[in-house]
Every structure is written in structure tokens, then in C-alpha cells.
Amino acid sequence: MEFKDIATVSGKPGLYKVLKPSRSGVILESLDEKKGKLVVGAAQRVSLLSEISIYTLTEEGASPLQDIMIKIEKEFKGDTGLEGADKEEYQAFMKHILPEFDEDRVYASDVKKLINWYHIVRSECPEVLEEPEATEESESKEEKE
């Protein structure tokens, strides 16, 4: 599975695997133990995780969610220690992971959602948290030989 195959549905908790488009929308499968299927129509907002970014104070203005999740995986290996954390702890965690994040536009609830999504992705499809540069480098080396 790739990062572009994982979606979130506005108003629904959790993450979903994109299965295929249908006439009225898209068919999704929940990334939890139940693996329930869901048909989402045009009235509901579906966002692919590959299209989500977090606001930063850099020139680009945002950092892709996948890059942030890879940083979290690299540093914490699944143990963020934020169960039952308060607003200040979430903000401090975000400052540690992404020092240039925009504190005025990224709320503690956003960071909490990021952590929840990270745990879901890590348990259901950990391969998307591997750094893409490593595979690209090995492919280019093979092409040269």
C-alpha cells in the first residue's frame, strides 16, 4: 500500500484504504480490526493523506504529512508517549518533530489527530513509513550497473 491509497472521511473517525471508484463515489475499507467497507458519495469530503500538509513558517508554507510521519517513525518507533497528554504536550511534541510549524494555525487537536493517524498507519500498513529515498537510491544504482 502507498500513502496515496489511504484516506480520511470528514465526520468519520479513523483512516480508510481506497479500494476503487464507484458510480456514486468511492469504495473505502476501514483500517481497523473490523475492515468494514463504506461507499462515500460526492456529498462527503474524502481527503487522501498524500494531499494533506501541516502549516509551517517556511517559504513553502507547509510540510507534507508523509514526511512528518516518517520523522515520527524514525525517532519514536511507535512510542510517542502522548496518551492522555494535554495541549502543551502536543504543541511541544510538534515543535520537536517540526520546529518550523505554524503554532497559530496548527491546533493541539490537529496534532492529536496526526498522532492517532500515525498509530493506525504504523499498525496497519507500516511500509508507508519507510523513507522513500532509500528505495530510489538503490533503484538508480541498479540502473547504472
pLDDT for 55 equals 94
pLDDT for 76 equals 83
Domain ranges of the chain: 3-49, 53-130
pLDDT for 141 equals 44
The CATH architecture assigned to 3-49 reads Roll (2.30)
The sign of the CA dihedral 3, 125, 72, 54 is: positive
pLDDT for 133 equals 59
pLDDT for 132 equals 64
The sign of the CA dihedral 32, 37, 41, 47 is: positive
pLDDT for 15 equals 92
Between 3.40.50.360, 1.20.120.430, 1.10.10.1650, 3.40.50.720, what CATH number should domain 53-130 receive? 1.10.10.1650
Q: What is the mean pLDDT of each run of 10 residues along the chain (145 residues)?
A: 88 90 88 85 88 92 91 84 80 90 90 89 85 52 46
